[in-house]
């Protein structure tokens, strides 16, 4: 009997920074908030870490989570489907953001 073992991909810390587009309305936010909450709840229900919150400008937010590169891409793709056209956002690995290393 042969065994196929998949190499375990290393988890890393990822940072997703989002900002309201200038033309985003309150209605737009009411439409996406339930889906974003569902995405985060699903992520956590599978035992994954995520920490998120707004900045004090009330326009920008950040989520920090741990994932493999593949899982981070899947999370980002789901987020993109929910928030595209309403928010500007980007995903980076923690080490790729030197200013966060100083925190």
pLDDT tens string 30-52 = 999 999 999 999 999 999 999 99
Full residue range of the structural domain in which residue 82 is found: 12-101
Domain of residue 87, CATH code: 3.30.70.600
Please indicate, yes or no, if residue 3 is contained in any of the structural domains: no
Q: What is the dihedral of CA 53, 9, 77, 43, to 10 degrees?
A: -50
Number of domains in the chain: 1
Residue 81, C-beta contacts closer than 8 angstroms, at least 6 positions apart: none
What pLDDT is attached to residue 36?
96
Please indicate, yes or no, if residue 58 is contained in any of the structural domains: yes
Please indicate, yes or no, if residue 4 is contained in any of the structural domains: no
**C-alpha span between 68 and 10 (Å, rounded):** 6
Q: What is the dihedral of CA 79, 84, 89, 92, to 10 degrees?
A: 50
Token pair 């737009």 is found at 28
Please state the separation of Cα 89 from the chain's center in Å: 9
**Is the CB of residue 64 less than 8 Å from the CB of residue 48?**
no
pTM reported for the whole predicted model: 0.82
Cα angle 66-46-97, degrees, rounded to a multiple of 5: 15
Please indicate, yes or no, if residue 7 is contained in any of the structural domains: no
**C-alpha span between 60 and 71 (Å, rounded):** 23
> What residues in the chain have per-residue pLDDT under 50?
1-7, 101-103
Please indicate, yes or no, if residue 42 is contained in any of the structural domains: yes
What pLDDT is attached to residue 96?
59
């Amino acid at each position: 009997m042969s065994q196929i073992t998949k190499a375990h991909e290393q988890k890393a810390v990822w940072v997703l920074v989002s900002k309201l587009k200038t033309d985003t309305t309150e209605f737009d936010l009411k439409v996406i908030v339930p889906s974003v909450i569902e995405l985060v709840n699903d992520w956590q229900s599978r035992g994954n870490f995520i920490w998120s919150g707004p900045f004090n400008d009330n326009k920008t937010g950040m989520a920090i989570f741990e994932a493999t590169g593949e899982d981070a891409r899947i999370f980002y793709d789901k987020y993109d489907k929910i928030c595209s056209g309403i928010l500007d956002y980007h995903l980076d690995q923690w080490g790729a953001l030197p200013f966060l290393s100083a925190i």
